[in-house]
Amino acid sequence: MISKTYSIIVAAACAALLAATATLNVAIDPQCVFRACASDGRATANERYHRLLAYKLRAVETDGLLFSNSRGKAFDTNAVALALGAKHVASFAVSAGAITDHLPFLKYILSDQAAHGGKIQKVLLLLDADFFGTRPWTNLNLDSFLPPEVSGESGLRFWLRYLFAVQFKGWRESITSTARRDLTATPNVRLASLDGPPTGLVAAGGQPAQAEEAPTPERLSRISKSHKPFLNEQLRDLDEFVQLCRRKDIQLTIALNPLTRVNSSTYEPGRLEDTIASINEITDLWDFTAPEWLAEDLAHWLDVSHFRPEIAQVMLDRMFANAGPSDFGRFRRKAESGSLER
Amino acid sequence: MLFNSYEFILFLPLALAAHFLAARWSISAAVATTTISSLIFYAWWKPPFVVLPIASIVLNYWLASRILASPIAERRPLVLAGVAANVLVLAYFKYFDFILSIFEQRSASVPDVPLALSFTTFVQIAFLVELARHPEKVAPAKYAMFVAFFPHLIAGPIVRWSELGPQLDDRGRYRINWDNVALGLTIFLLGLAKKILLADQLSPHVSLVFDAAAAGQPIGAAAAWGASIAYSLQLFFDFSAYSDMAVGLGLLFNLRLPVNFAAPLRSTSIIDLWRRWHISLSRFLRDFIYVPLGGGKKGGLRQCANLFVTMLIGGLWHGANWTFIAWGAFHGALLTLNHIWRLLRGPVRPTMIGRSVGWLLTFAAFAVGMTMFRAANIETAGSLLQAMAGFGPGASDVNFNPAPDFWFLRQGYVSEEFVRTWFGAHWSISATLLTAAALAVMLLVPDTMELTNYRENEPHSDWRRSYGLTWTPSAAWCAGAVVLFAVLFARLNQFTEFLYYQF
């Protein structure tokens, strides 16, 4: 083979691969960034991108915001608007959403509102005692990249990533989910994405009783899931979020989502309480993690992680109408964990 | 723009097409076109910062013209002024806050150093000195392309005018040379493979340990050694990958850049290692610092002092941090020891065992040095070195993380106590196995320059081994190159910067 043939074959094969990948990505569009297909219910869609598009469509009338991970999808935005006393609430409830998503979104929206003379009056921020402090999914996956306006990255880079990403699973998932979308209605939640990679850590000598315990898979898994390597960073982000709302005179309500017993028992004892206490050192909050009747009864849940819309409504009633069961939701004043109930 | 980015995949064919199309018009047009492409490549990082290399090129060219126009006796002060001006700009961006922090007795902040500044500064200093020694009229456009040529702009190799200048004057190089294109594509792909399949795989394991140490968390001996060895390999695969890609890209433009790495981690002595590691920097330090200081011509003691000072400056060039100064001083001391050892031993050819011991000592010393090089600050370096020396925390003080070794623990192949004692929370069996595999690749698999038999301005070739597996433009290699590209392209989603971009 001569060098010219070698060069042309290699270059042509590389170009063909690029072209084929780009064609597949545009045609299948797993993240729904090339056309509006997010409503197809495909699990690979970039919800962060679509939440921003939805906000932009009604930016002028938006004066309230809802930030959450997929658990917040149980909230009806009209009901949230009614509870908050807002004209329109834009939802940023996204799969595996974390404070690392919420803070840049809030910053972008505040500057966008300032640009057209609008003002955000109310914000409802839903946090999770189990995921707070774990590795966030922000900008980690193709489906979790923040839109370029929000992240500040070059728009070209954002689009090229989606054009040239080789994503066999994404293509397959999109094709199968499109094929079955008319057959079954599935809730748009992603359990797998919430579980995240196990990255456990436990202080040596800190818990001698456990050190003697046998290294069963369950125990190892519990130790892994309890690891919160990003806790301090996320607490700093939360503090910035709170301060930003304060500076902009925004009425901020923060709540911790309920957890099932099945879910909370997969963590080391005391770990979730420590996280709640750390969050509470920064801000007042509504703690919905505790009630036994909710944690034990899976009838209130879509799955072990996501509560039903009825529970979301009860949460709103507790926070904004002083109604609902009194054992559901404790209001904790900043740095006075468990001191005040109402 | 990174060589391993989607933008670059689009940029490269456009830049090549523009170069060779412009070359049909004239050589000057091709040179100007590629200079502009290179500045676009640079500006992709932070557009306003492109003013800096442009201003630097213009001022250095003006100074070069003044040197050429001056009588021989007056050239020296002009060269010195040029060198001083370049060093001052570098010092302002890179060391100003560090120097200030010493007087103000505070921690220095991380400087926002313009990309490529360290490399372009050395390229231009070398140019001014060479020009004073061998006066030669240089066209402004060719000088601009010589400095800004994007394959070497960001992280070297630190090219000399004597290497690239004559090539830019050669009309024959402005036509596509298919032999060089075939070789260039192959070298680029092999470099990209080193970066993505080896360096980037080690990176997260290294970061875990060094970040934890920087946060004040206790690190055990095995974790500290593991991370230091892994970082030594990561840096080698990362930086030599960049150099390979630069050479490959140069060949696509029908230009031959010098070999920058000669399998340095296979060296059996520190002297040998520095002949083979970042060759273009070692050469610069030798020619413009070590030799002017007197080199080895003024007695053994003076030679040792010169070596030490040269390595200290080499360390400082990498960044404004005591860790780099300590790293430079450490290597200065090692080189001095190595020279003394050679004097004591005399001209004896080492045995197989001697070479093996030499390699082990050299690699271990290099890894110790890399601990300082990678650590966030001198305190972190100190705590890691303490751990490596066996004076770190005991097993009961070290945290435990079962996640990376979950499978081994669950299968019962290792005990929790074993993982806690040997690895702690930040190192793992998986990281150890990966590091061992990378070490085996480094030792046993032929280097890109060996595989492709690329030799350009290589001062020594005694490092090359014969594997009987030399690249030729054959059907098998063609299929291999395409498959390799497919594998690498599929993994391109994981963006990581080249380590040497920061220097």
pLDDT at A247 over 50: yes
- Cα A241 to chain centroid, rounded: 15
Contact B489 A17 (CB under 8 A): yes
> Which residue from A10, A203, A223 is facing B481, i.e. has the nearest CB?
A10
Q: For A230-246, what is the mean pLDDT?
A: 93
Bond from prior residue into B157 cis (ω within 30 degrees of 0)? yes
Tell me what pLDDT residue B333 has: 95
Q: Is B178 in contact with A7 (Cβ distance < 8 A)?
A: yes
**Residue B450: which of B227, B216, B288, B266 has the closest Cα?**
B266
The helix/strand/coil state of B400 is: strand
> Distance (Å, rounded) from C-alpha B386 to C-alpha B81?
44
Distance CA B197, CA B174 (A): 34
More confident residue, B177 or A178: B177
Q: Is B475 in the A-facing interface, judged by CB distances under 8 Å?
A: yes
Q: What is the pLDDT of residues B333-357, one digit of tens each?
A: 999 999 999 888 888 888 889 999 9
Give me the residue from A1, A165, A200 closest to B402, CB to CB: A200
Q: Residue A225's pLDDT band (boundaries 50, 70, 90)?
A: low
Residue A192: pLDDT band (50, 70, 90) is very low
Whether residue A12 is contained in a domain is answered as no
Residues of B in contact with A204 (CB under 8 A): 395-400, 420
In a domain, A147, yes or no: no
Using the beta-carbon criterion (under 8 Å), do B489 and A142 form an inter-chain contact? no
**Burial grade of B389 (CB within 10 A; 0-12, 13-18, 19 or more):** exposed
Domain membership of residue A209 (yes or no) is yes
- What whole-number distance in Å separates Cα of residue B152 and Cα of residue B140? 19
Please give the pLDDT value at position B400. 67
Is residue A58 a part of any domain in this protein?
yes
pLDDT averaged over every residue in chain A? 82
* Pick from B402, B475, B477: CB nearest A220: B402
Task: Tell whether B478 is within 8 A of chain A (Cβ).
Answer: yes
Which of B78, B63, B365, B414 minimizes the C-alpha distance to B229? B365
The pLDDT of residue B396 is 58
Residue B431 touches chain A, beta carbons under 8 Å: no
pLDDT at B402: 67
CB of A87 within 8 A of CB of A128?
no
3-state secondary structure chain A: CCHHHHHHHHHHHHHHHHHHHHHHHHHHCCCCCCCCCHHHCCCCCCHHHHHHHHHHHCCCCCCEEEEECHHHHHCCHHHHHHHHCCCCEEEEECCCCCHHHHHHHHHHHHHHHHHCCCCCCEEEEEECCCCCCCCCCCCCCHHHCCCHHHHCCCHHHHHHHHHHCCCHHHHHHHHHHHHHCCCCCCCCCCHHHHHCCCCCCECCCCCHHHHCCCCCHHHHHHHHHHCCCCHHHHHHHHHHHHHHHHHCCCEEEEEECCCCHHHHCCCCCCHHHHHHHHHHCCCCEEECCCCHHHHHCHHHECCCCCECHHHHHHHHHHHHCCCCCCCCCEEECCCCCCCCCC
Q: Structural domain tally of chain A?
A: 1
- N- to C-terminal Cα separation, chain A: 82
Q: What is the pLDDT of residue A227?
A: 65
User: Which one from B152, B318, B339, B426 is the annotated catalytic residue?
Assistant: B318
What does pLDDT average to in each consecutive run of 10 residues of chain B (503 residues)?
86 96 95 96 88 94 92 88 93 87 81 84 94 90 95 91 94 95 96 94 92 86 94 96 96 96 95 94 93 85 91 91 94 94 85 93 97 93 92 67 75 79 83 96 94 86 83 94 93 61 57
The answer to whether residue A150 sits within a structural domain is: no
A254 bridge partner residues: A125
Q: Are B78 and B96 in contact (CB under 8 A)?
A: no
> Closest Cα of chain B to A340: distance in Å?
35
Burial tier of B462 (Cβ tally within 10 Å: 0-12, 13-18, 19+): exposed
Q: Categorize the per-residue pLDDT at A196 as very low, low, confident or very high, splitting at 50, 70 and 90.
A: very low
Contact A191, B389 (CB under 8 A): no
More confident residue, B32 or A141: B32
Record: contact A220-B485, CB cut-off 8 A: no
Q: What is the pLDDT of residues B25-48, one digit of tens each?
A: 999 999 999 999 999 999 988 888
B134 is catalytic: no
Distance CA A124, CA B468 (A): 68
**pLDDT of the residue at A131:** 87
Task: Tell me whether residues B402 and A163 touch, CB distance under 8 A.
Answer: no
Q: Which two tokens stand for residue A223?
A: 């130790």
Give the best residue of B4, B6, B427 to mutate against chain A (max A CB count within 10 A): B6
pLDDT band at A232 (very low <50, low <70, confident <90, very high): confident
Containing structural domain, residue A272: 47-141+190-332
Cβ pair A3:B473 closer than 8 A: yes
* pLDDT tier, A212 (very low <50, low <70, confident <90, very high otherwise): very low
Supply the pLDDT for residue A38.
60
DSSP-assigned letter for residue B91: H
CA distances from B7 to A61, B11, B408 (A): 38, 6, 40
B411 in contact with A at a CB cutoff of 8 Å?
A: no
Q: Checking DSSP bridges between strand A89-93 and strand A64-68, what pairing results, if any?
A: parallel
Strand order in the sheet with A122-127: A89-93, A64-68, A122-127, A251-256, A285-287, A330-332
How many whole angstroms from its chain centre is CA B200?
15
Are the beta carbons of B451 and B469 closer than 8 angstroms? yes
Strands A64-68 and A122-127: parallel
Residue A186: pLDDT over 70: no
The shortest C-alpha distance from B215 to chain A (Å) reads 11
Percent of chain A with pLDDT over 70: 80
**What does the pLDDT read at residue A334?**
86
ipTM of this predicted structure: 0.85
Q: What confidence tier does A9 reach under pLDDT thresholds 50, 70, 90?
A: very high
Q: What is the pLDDT at residue A204?
A: 35
Please name the amino acid found at residue B28: S
Tokens linked to B72: 């021989």
CATH of residue A130's domain is 3.40.50.1110
CB contact under 8 A, B403 and A204: no
d(CA B436, CA B226): 9
DSSP state letters, B440-453: HHHHHSPPHHHHHT
Q: Is B484 on the interface with A (CB under 8 A)?
A: no
- CA distances, B455 to each of B76, B168, B265, B450, B464 (Å): 34, 19, 19, 9, 10
What single-letter amino acid sits at B166? P
Cβ-based contacts of B406 with chain A (< 8 Å): 198, 220-221, 224
| Window 434-473 of B, Cβ < 8 Å to A | 473
| Contact across the interface for B10 and A201, Cβ inside 8 Å | no
Nearest-angstrom CA–CA distance, A291 and A316: 16
Report the pLDDT averaged over residues A184-205: 37
Comparing CB atoms, the residue among A2, A9, A160 nearest residue B6 is A160
Contacts of B486 in chain A (CB under 8 A): 17
Q: Is residue A11 part of a domain?
A: no
Domain membership flag for residue A111:
yes
What would the pLDDT profile of A318-337 be if each residue is shown by its tens digit?
Answer: 999 888 888 888 899 986 54
User: Using one digit for the tens of pLDDT, what is the confidence trace for A284-295?
Assistant: 999 998 777 887
From A294, A285, A299, select the one nearest A337 (Cα to Cα).
A285
User: What share of chain A has pLDDT > 90, as a percent?
Assistant: 47
Nearest CA in chain A to B181: A7
* Residue A278 forms part of a structural domain: yes
